[in-house]
């Protein structure tokens, strides 16, 4: 009766599988885009992320975190949006690391969620294996005891229950903590201070290169002078 009403309302394994496959494809395409942008090369150094100035003894720079607007006016929303877009693009890899670390900590705080998610995942894998292969145990065909449709509905209901019972609160905690940290950093981090740090770092690197170049020139000069001395000594010995 329940299966008939579900089929009449369009709630069938085929439609659900199609929806899940569509979600999987969209998620895969989104993950591919993220992987092209989230790389180890785009991971910003911790002093730059936290606004720490190494030249000032690794202290927090005074202009690292400032409000995007001093006075609220008509252009305030645009300024806030511009700053957050810049920071989200520049620190994207760092924000992904923060979200991943938060997810790991929240998951470790809820071992029951890990157990039940692993259990449901294993049951789905077993369901897919039983569709493709025949399992005979003690002369009993296990795959034929419960039909594919009933197994699917049972696993679907079990998955929904586990999501609501074990995953909902940890997910909300994860979204709240990671979202608050990321949005507050993107809101308060001043991009102008990052440009100033980059300029000062580039100037210091140029000074270092100039000093190294002077050393190399001095070494070349000393080598040339040594060569001249050796050649002059050779001439004197010949005379």
- Residue bearing tokens 């080598």: 223
- Residues contacting 114, CB < 8 A, separation 6+: 107
Distance, in Å, from the CA atom of 29 to the CA atom of 41, rounded to the nearest integer, reads 22
Which tokens belong to 84? 């957050």
Distances (CA, A) of 207 to 24, 210, 213: 52, 5, 10
Q: pTM, whole model, 2 decimals?
A: 0.69
Q: What are phi and psi of 110, to 5 degrees?
A: -130, 75
Judged on CB neighbours under 10 Å (0-12, 13-18, 19+), 96 is: middle
73-129, pLDDT tens digit by residue? 888 899 999 999 999 999 999 999 999 999 999 999 999 999 999 999 999 999 888
Strands (E) across the chain are located at 52-53, 59-60, 136-137, 140-141
In percent, the amount of the chain with pLDDT more than 90 equals 36
24-39, pLDDT tens digit by residue? 777 777 777 777 788 8
């Amino acid at each position: 009766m329940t299966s008939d009403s579900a089929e009449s309302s369009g709630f069938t394994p085929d439609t659900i599988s199609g929806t899940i496959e569509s979600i999987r494809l969209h998620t895969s395409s989104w993950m591919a885009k993220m992987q092209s942008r989230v790389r180890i090369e785009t991971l910003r150094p911790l002093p730059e992320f936290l606004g720490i100035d190494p030249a000032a003894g690794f202290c927090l720079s005074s202009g690292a975190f400032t409000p995007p607007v001093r006075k609220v006016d008509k252009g305030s929303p645009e300024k806030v949006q511009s700053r957050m877009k810049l920071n989200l693009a520049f620190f994207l890899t760092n924000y992904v690391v923060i979200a991943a670390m938060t997810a790991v900590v929240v998951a470790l705080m809820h071992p029951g969620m890990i157990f039940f998610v692993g259990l449901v995942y294993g049951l789905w894998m077993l369901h897919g294996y039983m569709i493709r292969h025949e399992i005979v145990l003690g002369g009993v065909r296990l795959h034929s005891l419960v039909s594919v449709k009933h197994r699917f509905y049972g696993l679907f209901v079990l998955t929904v229950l586990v999501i609501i019972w074990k995953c909902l609160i940890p997910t909300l905690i994860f979204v709240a903590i990671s979202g608050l940290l990321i949005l507050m950093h993107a809101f308060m981090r001043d991009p102008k201070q990052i440009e100033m740090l980059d300029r000062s770092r580039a100037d210091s690197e140029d000074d270092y290169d100039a000093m190294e170049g002077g050393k190399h020139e001095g070494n070349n000069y000393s080598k040339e002078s040594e060569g001249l001395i050796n050649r002059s000594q050779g001439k004197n010995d010949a005379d």
